[in-house]
Structure 1
Amino acid sequence: MDRRDTIKNFLEKIVVNAGVGRLSGQPHFDDKLLPQILKDLAAITGQHPETSTARKSVAGFKVREGQIVGLKVTLRRSKMVDFFERLTRIVLPRVRDFSGLSLKNVDEAGILNIGIKEHVVFSEIDPEHSPLSISLGINIVPKGRKQKKAIDWYREMGVPLKKENKK
């Protein structure tokens, strides 16, 4: 069995999230910023993002009901495998001051949660033509929901996880 089949058999899905709540209050958000963010996220994932809107208004956060607050892409099958390969082999090594992911990023169900501060670390994004920096949340969901098994598999597949801290 090759690496792509192993990834496809172990992972259920990868979810990529981008919060745009702070940007939605800026002028020209709907006609200039949002299309650029959608284009960048589609280039990164190979799939058109789904928008998430606020369910109710919250004055303290300056959010109105129906306002776009986030974007989400759920990857499965071959797009999931391609994204996982690019993430582990190209993107994570390009992150500035990166020394590995903490084991705390893997929860009890074996889901690996990764936060990326700037989306320009993806090779699909040209920093010259992308005027804003978006933070991304990446959730890698395995089929078998066991933490220890998932950590072993992530290490085997080349995900840079730090060693356990022994006291």
Structure 2
Amino acid sequence: MTADKAKKPKKAAKAEKPQEPEVVPVPRLQEKYVKEILPGLAEKFGRANRMSLPRLEKIVVNMGVGKAIGEKKYLEEAVEALKQISGQKPTITLSRKSIANFKLREGMAIGCKVTLRGKRMYEFLDRLVSLALPRVRDFRGLSPNAFDGRGNFNLGLTELLVFPELNPDKFSFTQGMNITLVTSAESDDEARELLKELGMPLRAA
């Protein structure tokens, strides 16, 4: 072969097959809300506009860790526990003022919280209703008086380990949490109907 003879062109590399986007399944409760609960609420309240119907907007889970003042590991355990049960990294909450009697200084880390929306919100609520609340000792339903007058519902759990995903051997102390369900409801009565349809075990008023 002569030096000036043109070289054979290289074969073009095969184009890589584009990866198909991962399909994330819609949470069970979210699907139920769209397909079953919304039509039912529209009929009950006599509204054709679905945007005017009550919906769950977010869930705020807050843990105050008083023991964190004297021992940092308790806050670290709380953060890890909240991350496991919510599927989201918590933010640290800080004290707003100093209290000398409790050795508390302004800006000191005293707890953690998460704000859940969308799919994580529905997944958390499903686990709360289906798995955690039935494991609460002597549970007889949630108080119907825990609404705040603006369509939001508050509940407290004294024991984290009602969530089955937590391994009791990994945590050295008993810790509770406060859970706030924030809705778009115009009244507590509307919010009550929404939460009952979502499976919240509310006692009769």
Bin the TM-score by the shorter chain: 0.7 to 0.9
- Greater C-alpha Rg: 2
- Structure 1 residue 63 and structure 2 residue 89: aligned? no
1:161 paired residue number:
202
1:146 paired residue number:
187
CA distance in structure 1 between the aligned counterparts of 2:133 and 2:104, rounded to whole angstroms:
33
Percent identical pairs in the alignment equals 38
Matching residue within 40, 43, 63 for 1:18: 63
Q: Report the aligned-residue RMSD.
A: 1.8
CA distance in structure 2 between the aligned counterparts of 1:117 and 1:140, rounded to whole angstroms:
17
Matching residue within 10, 26, 30 for 1:4: 30
- Note the residue ranges of structure 2 that are not aligned, 5 or more in a row: 1-27, 39-53
CA distance in structure 2 between the aligned counterparts of 1:145 and 1:69, rounded to whole angstroms:
33
- Structure 1 residue 98 and structure 2 residue 139: aligned? yes
How far 1:59 moved relative to its partner? 1.0
2:129 paired residue number:
88
Of structures 1 and 2, the one with the larger relative CO (CA 8 A, separation 6+) is 1
Q: Give, as a single letter, the amino acid of the residue that structure 2 aligns with 1:4.
A: Q
How far 1:155 moved relative to its partner? 1.4
TM-score by length of 2: 0.72
How far 1:154 moved relative to its partner? 1.3
- Structure 1 residue 107 and structure 2 residue 148: aligned? yes
CA distance in structure 2 between the aligned counterparts of 1:95 and 1:145, rounded to whole angstroms:
31
1:132 paired residue number:
173
TM-score by length of 1: 0.88
- Note the residue ranges of structure 1 that are not aligned, 5 or more in a row: none
How far 1:66 moved relative to its partner? 1.9
CA distance in structure 1 between the aligned counterparts of 2:111 and 2:195, rounded to whole angstroms:
28
* Greater than 4 Å deviation, 4+ residue runs: none
How far 1:145 moved relative to its partner? 3.4
SS in 2 for 1:88: helix
CA distance in structure 1 between the aligned counterparts of 2:187 and 2:102, rounded to whole angstroms:
37
